[in-house]
Structure formats: structure tokens, C-alpha cells
Structure 1
């Protein structure tokens, strides 16, 4: 596409004043770079992704509130992590981290283990222990 045709549609990136680097051709037909604020299909996909993430966070909050999962699940969703990623951050096996997602198991964790989660989530141990989905 030509440099002057690089899309400049409004997107979530505009609010953050972020531009995306794209390749385009200049008036001589040579490849060059251009900044784009977004384009409609990408904006729609990004908005859908953000909505899905927010729905997952809200569901995790409710699940913590109803004592179905531990706060680890909520903070994992807030930080856009999955079990494998979180296991890497805390240096434990994935099956063990999943087990810590159970409220009954979570309540028995010592501060040394909770500190690993707190560090991964950039919160205090007390914030982690005392989060009840409220």
C-alpha cells in the first residue's frame, strides 16, 4: 500500500497515543515505514479481545467471591496469564500451580509460597490473602 493510504482509523491505541509501525511504498515505489493509528478490522478484533478479557476477570472475581477458586485465579486473569505462564513466574510445576487455584489448598499455603505469587502479581502477600472478590 502507498504511504498516504496507511489506515488512520480511531482505535483503542489512539487513547494511549500509540502508533503502529507499518511498511508502505513512497512516491517512488520504494519501501518505507509509516505510522498507523489503526484500522477498522484490527480495532474490532482488539475490542472483542478486551471485552473477553474483562468478562474472564469478572467471572474469576465472582468465582473467588463464591469460594469456587482461590484469589490466584483472579490475579492470574487480571495479569493476562495462563497456568503455564504463571508456573514459569513462580518457578513451580503447572499441576502444582493449578492445585493452588483451589480455595481449600490456597488457605493452607505458607507465606514463602504466597510471596512467589505476590511478586508475580506485583501485590503484597496480605492483598493476595485478603482478596475475597469484593
Structure 2
């Protein structure tokens, strides 16, 4: 199973306050453990929402909304992609994580859909297209 692990934003992260050297070292050690265990597929921190945008869809209309966005608790400050045997394994890893923020913080864990989750709507042709695109992405990532 694959999981997206979302580090929720805080007032500090939205203000652009960077982690300390000690924070980076602790997170680096944790990330090393994830990689050695074969869990981590990717992970990145995100700039504050003041440097981002949202696109709202309404029928055929698209509206761009520039950041910052008001609801800090709804924002993501970083993420990992993990491969775990179960949600409980992902929870166990998160419980070992150093606090990603200077104060109180929250990490959300969400399972990523697999092709098997979509049933008949993902026809063999669409499944083949998806597999081709994933292979192309993997090749581009190597080069």
C-alpha cells in the first residue's frame, strides 16, 4: 500500500520560519531510517501559501486565487510518499517522527488509490495508458 503523509502547516511555517540545524539533523536521521527500511519513495517541504495559488473550477470556468490562504490548519507544509504494508505501519512510522514544527503540529496519513480500487471504470485500455505514463515518469526521473 502507498500512503501520502501530509505535514500540516502552522503559523510558523506559513510565516516562512525555517527549521533549525538541529531540526534538519533530526529529520534527516528519520528520513534515513525510512529509506533504509524501504518505506520512503519521496518527500519534500513546501513554500508558504503566500508563494502559491489555487485554481477554482466551476463548470468550464477557471478562477485563479493567489495565496496566502487564511485557514492555516487546512494547508500542507510538506509531504512524504511511503510504501507500507498497512495504515497501522504508516501510523507507527509517524509516531517515531520528530516534531516537524517548533510548536504543536499535525501529520495526516492518506492511502493512495491503486488501479485495483477503481473497478470496471478503469478499463484495460485506460489501465495500460496509466502504466505507460508511470513508466515514462520513472524514466524521466532517472534522466
Please, what TM-score do these two structures have when normalized by structure 2? 0.24
Kindly name which structure, 1 or 2, has the bigger radius of gyration based on alpha carbons: 1
Greater fraction of residues in strand: 2
Please, what TM-score do these two structures have when normalized by structure 1? 0.25
Greater fraction of residues in helix: 1
Indicate the structure whose relative CO is greater, using CA pairs within 8 Å and at least 6 residues apart.
2
